[in-house]
Structure formats: structure tokens, C-alpha cells
Structure 1
Amino acid sequence: MPPSNLPDTKVPSHTTQYLATLAVCTGALSMGATLGYSSPAGPRMMANSTSDDLTVTLSQFNWVSSSPSLGGVAGGLMAGVGVDFVGRKGVILVFSPVFFLGWLMIALARDVAMLLAGRLACGLAAGAVSIAVPTFVGEIASPDIRGLLGSVFQVMITTGILSVYVLGAAIPSWRILAGVFAGLPVLTFVAVLFLKESPLYLVSKGKEDEAAASLRFFRGKDYDASDELQVLKESLEESRQRKASAKDLLKPHNLKPFLIVLGVFLLTQFSGITAILSYMSSIFQESGSNLPDDVSSSIIAAVMVAVTLFSSALVDKAGRKALLVTSAATMAIAFNMLGQYFAGKESNRAWVDNAAWVPLACLVVFVSAFSVGFGPIPWLLLGELFSPEVKGVAVSLVQVINWSTAFLTTLIFAPLQTSLGDSGMYLLFSGLCALALVFSAFLVPETKGKTLQEIAAHFGGSPVAGSSQGRRTEG
């Protein structure tokens, strides 16, 4: 028996994994800031100010607010190829300067075209980050903390939204605000530069010595990487043998989970979350809230961060389906109440004068419900429901459609608001959330506590399609 003071070479250290996850997830901060930037910046861009020679019309701003999602489509596609070509770390290093240039173009924009180009560049980088960062984190994380580290990405996105709302309230210029966030991708680049590449990527390139060094880097210098390295090699070989094309998605055991995951992502966007985050300040301006719109927006974002921090603990206790159903039902109620408030406001009903707190309360409830269910769980299902041989194709398609839908919902938000009125628009979103409730209750399977093989068998797939190790799904 070895002396007790010697390190256990089979037990990984977690410190470097925590630090590495925080480092790469600074890219998620930039992504969140990109999603939330138009909320504080929009009213100032559209204001007729003598201090700025660039004024944006409402129709132009609709494109400014939605264009990052359009860039996200291209960024996701490029990163889907790039993570296997230049590596997970490589993609983050390549797109960090793109983020920097995007923010810089926004800060220095001389016309709307340059402003749009900057927003598209930020969206391009955000789309790449949404692929590369979760992939990197999932591949460097020890199984015992994979669920925890995986939740950091969503937490950092909401923290990025909060930071842009808070700084937007303090910084009067949308140009200076963009300039401040140009510093974030510089931090990401420098921090990630000192990390090792994903061990799975290195194994895929035949660099086994470098993969072993990477494992020791993330697990501790005394860690015996031989067993884990062998598992990676076997997993990679199995994946290569089972690799499939887009046509294989049409097989029933692949098509059904694909349609379920796609449906969940579409309904996530149809809930209006991306548009709400982009137009948050304008919503509060129109609502007649007693609080300044920047303060109200910051409260909403702070609630999102807090709820997201604690929601990961609920996934394995309550289950995926239960949280989706509860999330959708609560969002539907919140939007219905908001629609009723605006209907009363449009009809000049007396009770509205004493109910200026309603919009803030409704949106706090909405984002809380979203952060518990439809925020994190679609990404979890993305990893659980697909068989390994079609996962790459399926994830890429879902991401493209997800970003495209985010673009469309954000682009049409203001025209929809004009044509239906505030009350009609929120009642429409309430109905779509009710549809998400029905979809989740009757079509989404419960995967809590099931092995990946059991999930694959549920859809009629091969019992080994889920995993060669038969591990239980993690939250």
C-alpha cells in the first residue's frame, strides 16, 4: 500500500478545470452583452441628439437589434467545421478578435452600414462561441463536475446581459458602451491562450502524447491519464465507425428526437425571449413604470442571473419535462397578465393608474420561469436525445434554425407591436407559451435518471447508440 501522504493518481484535481471554464466562458459574457446591447443602446441611437452625427430610425434599429442572430447562423456553421479543423481552443482564439473588431466598429460607426457590420461581426463570434465553448468545457470536465461546469456557460450569458444593462444605465453614450465591451474579447484571448487544447480533439488528430499532457494539465500534474486516454480513444473510434450523414436523420429513431429538440428550440424563440431582451428598455418606457427603464432592465437581468445560478440543482430532482411544463405555464400566465395590463392602458381604465408595478412584476416572473426551464433544458436535451452518429449533423441543423428564428422574432417584434398593439402582441406570446406547455407535456420524454442507451431505446434506436459506457445522464 502506498504511503498515505502520496497523491491519489486516479483522483483528478478540479482547480484548473474551474479556472479554464471561467476563462473560456468570458466569451459567453461577450455573447450575453451582444444579445442585450440594443436594449440600453437603442433609445439613444434613435434619439435626435446634437452630440452624435448618427441617428437611427426605428426600421433601421430593427435590423441593428436582430442582425447578431443572423451573424450567429454563419458563426455556428463555421464553428461546427472549425472545432474539428483548428480545435475548440483554436476557434475561440480565432473568433475573439472578430468580437473585438465588431465592438470597435459599433463604437466608431460613421453610418448605419458600419453599425450593422459591427453587430453582424459580434453575432458571428457569438454563434461560434455557442458551439466552441460548451464543447470545450464538456471535453475538459471530469464526470463528477461536468454538470456544474456545463451550467457556467448559461450563467455567464445572463451575467453578460446584466452587465450591459447596468453599464448602459451608467454610461450615457452607446459608442462608449460598445468601446468598454471591446475589452472583453481581449481578456478572453489572453486567458485562453495559456490553456491546453481539448484532449479529445488532440486524440482525434493522433496527438496522444499532447492529449495525455492536456489531461494532466486539467486534472493535476500527478494524475494518471492512461485510463481516461484509452476511453477517449475507444469513444472516438466508435464515433468514427458510426458516423452518419444528414440522410440518416430521416430514420425514425433519429427523426423523432430531432423533431422534439427542434420543436423545443423553436418554442423557446417563439416565447419572445430574444426580442424581449433586445427591447427591454423600450418596453419599460412604453409601460409607464414608476422606475427608470434602465433600473427595471437591470433588475430583470439580475433575476435571470440569480435564477440561472440555482436552477441547475433542480434538473435532476424535478426532471426535464416537469420543469419545461412549469416554465411554459408560468411564462404564459405572465404574458397574459402583461397583455391585460396593456389592454387596460390602451382603454384608459382607471385601475392601470395604480398598477404601474405590473410590467416589472410580469417580466420578473417571465424571465425567472424561462431561466428555470426553457433557458437551460433545451441545451441539455441537445446532448441527451441524439445518438452519437448523428449528433454532429443534428446539432448543426438545430443551431442554424435556432439562430435564424431568433433573428426573425427580433426583426418582427417592433412591426408586430405596431400592428397588434402591445396587448395583442403579449397575448400572442402567451398563446405561444401555452403551445409550448402542450408540446412539452405530450411530446418531450422524461430523461431524468435514464442512461443514454435507455433514451436511444425509447426512440427505437440501437441499445448501444447512446454510449459505450452506459453512464447515467447528468444535469
Structure 2
Amino acid sequence: MPSRNLRDTKVPSHTAQYLATLAVCTGALGMGATLGYSSPAGPRMMANSTSDDLTVTLSQFNWVSSSPSLGGAAGGLIAGAGVDCVGRKGAILVFSPVFLFGWLMIALARDVAMLLVGRLACGLAVGAVSIAVPTFVAEIASPDIRGLLGSVFQVMVTTGILSVYVLGAVIPSWRILAGVFAVLPVLTFVSVFFLKESPLYLISKGKEDKAAASLKFYRGKHYAVADELQVLKDSLEESRQRKASAKDLLKSHNLKPFLITLGVFLLTQFSGITAILSYMSSIFQESGSNLSNGVSSSIIAAVMVAMSVISSALVDKAGRKALLVISAATMAIAFNILAQYFAGKESHRAWIDGAAWVPLACLVLFVSAFSVGFGPIPWLLLGELFSPEVKDVAVSLVQVINWSTAFLTTLIFAPLQTSLGNAGMYLLFSGLCVLALAFSAFLVPETKGKTLQEIAAHFGGSPVAGSPQERQKEG
């Protein structure tokens, strides 16, 4: 591979892009901590402890566990408009204090109502982060590393889950645990404050000088930004001429990427990932694992982080589609084996006595597969597939539906477990992962190495001036 000459005016530097992505993805740390918090905190909230004056029932905890997803739906709706009004960077800054408020409400809760308000506030911020951060990263990234940078979001989410599991195993109080994570939104606010806004957003507001400065900031001082700036301007001008509204989602070149992205997110939630992360400790408690719940959960989260890092290295080489297919197939196998284990346990089969390691192994396999494909790639597609004229409304709708589905799957997880039994529930998840396999193989397009304009053209959008398609047409 030839060495990169960063003084070449056509070769962008990656340093500022890496640092900016890490900065905004500190918000993803808070997202992961929010999603995983109820696993270590739940058993302590429901325990009759003399050291705490607040105890929750199982039915109350189901709402405490699932409420962040409900907040996420509202946050996604608000942020969808917010990223256009105050910018991608601006939305992250606005919602950081909301994150702080949520964690403090949990830490200081005197009744279940305060717990729910805190969890809803954290969910509101999670919904905003899940839109603003992938959009920001996709818009500042060079095409050659956009897949890598887009994968950092999921790496940081899984790191947040790992941190809450590990700290939850050593911090005895769910209040102190919440107080520790109240530091994260402060870190996010400070680190993001010094970044430049997305150049695409700045152009959309008529701030071309600031957009050029932003491109210089993210591409390096030696990079000639004129050509890229012109492509962005032409793309936005074409978007304005189309005068898009919500009904424009029904147009073929917009509806196709919308349905594909929505399908990938729904299948992600149908895999049961959000519910499993929320009830991880309870799952291990029921499985009869020889390891403690805290240790088992921490192992799972550590594997998620490691596999997310591996995925970030693979996504621009193997491609999005291949990783989704591998991910879905492996998740289906893991759930099928887990279903057989619980079926054997429920019928008191002899082989179960020496197989207490199976649940941990299956969940390690499941989260490994999830972290390679269905963990990072939906967020990457969220920033890649939509053309600029419908991006805001499309992303908002996808996220509202995504978080609403996460809320429902988490809320009904315990009742579903009671109704179907562990074996039936995991067999259902296995079947849904097979559906995800078919969807990925036949409907998800490959976007590896393509510019945002090339992706739009793939779905039938007109190529903008200066894009490779338009140059080919002219030639």
C-alpha cells in the first residue's frame, strides 16, 4: 500500500476526523451505560435492603428498565428537527445537560416516579445522541474511512455497557453507580464544544466560509477543499430544488433506503439485544451458570467491545452486507443452542448437569456476532443511505420506530419469558435472526467505498455536478 503524502492537496488528513469522532462518541458511552444500567442496578433496587429507603417491585422495575427506550423515541423525534435547527454539534451540546439531569435524578431518587423521570431523561438524550452523532460522523468523514469512523459509535456504546457492568460488580450502591456516570455528559460537552460544525450543515445555512473552514479543520491545512465544497453545494442545491417534505419519502429513490434502514433497525431490536442487555444478570441467575452474575455480564460486555473494534477494522474491507449476513446467521445459531439448553434444563435431561457453561458460551457467541454486524452497521447506514433532502425526517421516523420497538421488546421480555418459557423465547429469537439473514442477503445494498452522492444515485437520485456519475455521464 503506498504511503500517504499529507502535503498532497488532494489527500485528506485523518487526524482531526479521528479525534472529532472520539469526542462526539463520548455521548455513545453514556448511551451504552444507560442501556446496560438496569442489569446490575435492578437486583439491588428490588432487594429489601435496610441501607436504602427505596425498593421497587418487579412490575415497577420492568418500567424502569424499559423507559429509556420510550424516552429515546421522543428524543429521536426532537433531535431529528434539532440537527437541522441548531446543527449536529449543537444538538449534542443541547442534550448533554439532559443526560446529566437524568443521571442525577436516578442517583437522588426518593421514589419510583423520580427513577422513571431520570431514566426517561437519559433515554431522551440517548435518542438525540443516536441521531446527532452518526449524522455528524458521516458528514465529516472522508469516504475512505467513513465505515471505520461510523463503527466507532458502536464501539463506544459497547464500552459504555462494559463500564456499567464492571463498575456495577464492584460498586454496591445503584445510586453511587448513577452518580459516577453523571460525569460522562460533562466530558461530552467539554470535548465537543471545541469542534467545528458539520460542513454540510453549515452550507445548508448559507455559511460557505465557515463550511470551508470546517473542511480544512477535518481534512488538514494542506487539503484543497474547493472541489469537495462544490460537490456539497451542488448536492444541497439539488435537494432544495426538489422541495422535499414528509410525503417525499414515498418517492421510490427515498422510500427504498428508508424501508431498508427501518427494516435493519427493526430486525436489530427483534433479535432481543436491548432486552437481553437489560436483563443480563437475571438471565445468568436462571441459567445456573457457575460464574457470578457480575463476572458473567462483564465477560459478555468485554467481548462486545473487542468484537466492535474488530468490526471497525473489517467494515471497509469486508463490506456492510457480508457482515450483516454473518452476524444474523451466527446469532440464529447461538439462540438455537441456548433454546436447546433451556429445553433440556426444563425437562431435567442428564446432559445439562455438566453443561452450565453453555449459556455463557452462547451469549458470548451472540454478542460477538451482534457486535460485528447488527450492532454497528445500522447506525452506519443511518448516516449513509438517505439523500440530504429527506435525511432529517427519515432519520427521525426510523429512530422513533426503533426506540418504540426497543421499549416494547424490553417491557414484554419478562412476561414473554413467563409465557413461552426460556426455550420458546430463545427459539423465537432464533427464527427472527433467520429473517434478518434473508433480509440482509437480498435487500441491503453494499455501500463500501461509495460517496454519499454515489449512494443516493444508486437508489435513483440524480447525480450531482462534480460527482463520479455526472463526470461519467458527461464523458
Aligned partner letter, 2:92: I
Equivalent in the alignment of 1:67: 67
In 2, the alpha carbon distance for the partners of 1:319 and 1:214 equals 29
Equivalent in the alignment of 1:77: 77
Compute the displacement of 1:463 (Å). 4.8
Compute the displacement of 1:455 (Å). 5.9
1:196 has 2:196 as partner: yes
In 2, the alpha carbon distance for the partners of 1:450 and 1:13 equals 19
Equivalent in the alignment of 1:414: 414
Compute the displacement of 1:11 (Å). 3.9
Alignment of 1:37-48 (within 5 A): 37-48=37-48
Compute the displacement of 1:450 (Å). 6.6
Equivalent in the alignment of 1:138: 138
Equivalent in the alignment of 1:228: 228
Which region of structure 1 is more displaced relative to structure 2, 422-431 or 320-329? 320-329
Aligned partner letter, 1:157: V
In 1, the alpha carbon distance for the partners of 2:305 and 2:387 equals 32
Aligned partner letter, 1:435: L
Does structure 2 retain, via aligned residues, the 8 Å contact 1:387–1:466?
A: no
Aligned partner letter, 1:364: V
Compute the displacement of 1:277 (Å). 0.6
Q: Deviations over 1:189-226 (max 9, x none)?
A: 11112222222222222222322333333333454444
1:255 has 2:259 as partner: no
Equivalent in the alignment of 2:473: none
In 2, the alpha carbon distance for the partners of 1:466 and 1:67 equals 46
Does structure 2 retain, via aligned residues, the 8 Å contact 1:242–1:388?
A: no
Q: Deviations over 1:210-249 (max 9, x none)?
A: 2233333333345444443333322222222234222222
Compute the displacement of 1:437 (Å). 2.2
In 2, the alpha carbon distance for the partners of 1:337 and 1:375 equals 21
The alpha-carbon distance between structure 1 residues 466 and 285, as it changes in their structure 2 partners (threshold 3 A), is farther
Alignment of 1:149-228 (within 5 A): 149-228=149-228
The alpha-carbon distance between structure 1 residues 292 and 458, as it changes in their structure 2 partners (threshold 3 A), is same
Compute the displacement of 1:448 (Å). 5.0
Equivalent in the alignment of 1:363: 363
Q: Deviations over 1:122-177 (max 9, x none)?
A: 00001111111122222222333322222211111111111111111111110000
Does structure 1 retain, via aligned residues, the 8 Å contact 2:304–2:368?
A: yes
Does structure 1 retain, via aligned residues, the 8 Å contact 2:145–2:316?
A: no
In 1, the alpha carbon distance for the partners of 2:452 and 2:135 equals 18
In 1, the alpha carbon distance for the partners of 2:385 and 2:186 equals 36
Q: Deviations over 1:355-395 (max 9, x none)?
A: 00000000001011111222222233334444443333322
The alpha-carbon distance between structure 1 residues 416 and 97, as it changes in their structure 2 partners (threshold 3 A), is same
Does structure 1 retain, via aligned residues, the 8 Å contact 2:134–2:150?
A: yes
Equivalent in the alignment of 1:464: 463
Aligned partner letter, 2:241: Q
Does structure 1 retain, via aligned residues, the 8 Å contact 2:80–2:393?
A: no
Equivalent in the alignment of 1:292: 292
1:109 has 2:75 as partner: no
The alpha-carbon distance between structure 1 residues 284 and 157, as it changes in their structure 2 partners (threshold 3 A), is same
Compute the displacement of 1:456 (Å). 5.7
Equivalent in the alignment of 1:239: 239
**RMSD of aligned C-alpha atoms?**
2.4
Equivalent in the alignment of 1:54: 54
Q: TM-score, normalised by structure 2?
A: 0.91
In 2, the alpha carbon distance for the partners of 1:468 and 1:147 equals 20
Between the aligned residues of both structures, percent identity stands at 88
In 1, the alpha carbon distance for the partners of 2:451 and 2:211 equals 27
In 2, the alpha carbon distance for the partners of 1:433 and 1:423 equals 15
The alpha-carbon distance between structure 1 residues 449 and 153, as it changes in their structure 2 partners (threshold 3 A), is closer
The alpha-carbon distance between structure 1 residues 206 and 274, as it changes in their structure 2 partners (threshold 3 A), is same
The alpha-carbon distance between structure 1 residues 20 and 381, as it changes in their structure 2 partners (threshold 3 A), is closer
Does structure 1 retain, via aligned residues, the 8 Å contact 2:27–2:185?
A: yes
The alpha-carbon distance between structure 1 residues 149 and 447, as it changes in their structure 2 partners (threshold 3 A), is closer
In 1, the alpha carbon distance for the partners of 2:455 and 2:228 equals 24
Does structure 2 retain, via aligned residues, the 8 Å contact 1:96–1:188?
A: yes
Does structure 2 retain, via aligned residues, the 8 Å contact 1:453–1:467?
A: no
The alpha-carbon distance between structure 1 residues 451 and 53, as it changes in their structure 2 partners (threshold 3 A), is closer
Does structure 1 retain, via aligned residues, the 8 Å contact 2:109–2:115?
A: yes
1:93 has 2:77 as partner: no
Equivalent in the alignment of 2:302: 302
1:17 has 2:14 as partner: no
In 2, the alpha carbon distance for the partners of 1:220 and 1:456 equals 27
In 1, the alpha carbon distance for the partners of 2:232 and 2:432 equals 42
Aligned partner letter, 2:195: L
The alpha-carbon distance between structure 1 residues 435 and 55, as it changes in their structure 2 partners (threshold 3 A), is same
Compute the displacement of 1:56 (Å). 0.8
Please list every run of 5 or more consecutive structure 1 residues that lacks an aligned counterpart in the other structure: none
In 2, the alpha carbon distance for the partners of 1:391 and 1:243 equals 13
Compute the displacement of 1:417 (Å). 0.9
Compute the displacement of 1:452 (Å). 6.5
Which region of structure 1 is more displaced relative to structure 2, 135-144 or 312-321? 312-321
Aligned partner letter, 1:440: S
Aligned partner letter, 1:464: P
In 1, the alpha carbon distance for the partners of 2:176 and 2:352 equals 37
Does structure 2 retain, via aligned residues, the 8 Å contact 1:21–1:152?
A: yes
Does structure 2 retain, via aligned residues, the 8 Å contact 1:239–1:389?
A: yes
In 1, the alpha carbon distance for the partners of 2:436 and 2:11 equals 43
The alpha-carbon distance between structure 1 residues 37 and 345, as it changes in their structure 2 partners (threshold 3 A), is same
In 2, the alpha carbon distance for the partners of 1:257 and 1:465 equals 18
In 2, the alpha carbon distance for the partners of 1:249 and 1:353 equals 55
Q: Deviations over 1:398-426 (max 9, x none)?
A: 11111110110001001111111111211
Compute the displacement of 1:315 (Å). 3.3
Q: TM-score, normalised by structure 1?
A: 0.91
The alpha-carbon distance between structure 1 residues 77 and 49, as it changes in their structure 2 partners (threshold 3 A), is same
In 2, the alpha carbon distance for the partners of 1:142 and 1:351 equals 53
Equivalent in the alignment of 1:378: 378
Compute the displacement of 1:78 (Å). 1.1
Which region of structure 1 is more displaced relative to structure 2, 183-192 or 443-452? 443-452
Equivalent in the alignment of 1:348: 348
Count of residues in Structure 1 that have an aligned counterpart in Structure 2? 466
Please list every run of 5 or more consecutive structure 2 residues that lacks an aligned counterpart in the other structure: 471-475
